[in-house]
Amino acid sequence: MSRAVFTYGTLLFPEVFEAVTGRVFVSLDAAVAGLVRYGVRDAVFPGVVVGRNDRLDGRVYLDVDPRTLARLDRFEDVLYERRQVKAHLADGRTLTADAWVVPPRHAGELDGVPWDPVAFRRQHLARYLEMCRAFRVEDEADHRDGD
């Protein structure tokens, strides 16, 4: 069964999503209430934690298949937990989407500084894409015969 995936950090860039998954998905601008985004200590990517009246802008990818979700789980690793969120689309629709959230036990990994996607694009995107492509190649080799 396919799912919607809400992204808020490096994966909100379609080129990063494609580099990680090896596929192109339809995506839409979206926002989720109740999450706040900070940088991860000593990293170029962010994490989100639950925040009271915060609204987080991001991107929803549609019709993401189970095999791709499994790859995204491996990419996100142990810092995050996949949870369901309500994503609000620009046209007024709301849909349930999966998002990777930093659980309270790992909140200390965040630096408390709002993460800036514009600065990420300018300073880190090219190198990050290389890392994502290398991850995908390794992941494909590790999971070639099925998950």
**What is the model's pLDDT at position 52?**
78
The range of the structural domain enclosing residue 35 comes to 3-141
CATH number of 70's domain: 3.10.490.10
The answer to whether residue 79 is domain-embedded is yes
Confidence of residue 82 (pLDDT cuts 50, 70, 90): very high
Reported as a single tens digit per residue, the pLDDT across 114-126 is 999 999 999 999 9
Dihedral pair phi/psi, residue 61, rounded to 5° = -100, 135
What pTM, to 2 d.p., does this model score? Answer: 0.94
**What is the model's pLDDT at position 136?**
96
Chain centroid, CA 16 distance in Å: 10
Q: Which whole number is the average pLDDT over 9-13? A: 97
Reported as a single tens digit per residue, the pLDDT across 123-140 is 999 999 999 999 999 999
Looking up tokens 């994502």, which residue turns up? 132
What CA–CA distance (Å, rounded) separates 60 from 27?
A: 5
The answer to whether residue 146 is domain-embedded is no
C-alpha R_g of the chain = 15
The answer to whether residue 147 is domain-embedded is no
| Residue 64 scores a pLDDT above 90 | yes
Number of domains in the chain: 1
The answer to whether residue 137 is domain-embedded is yes
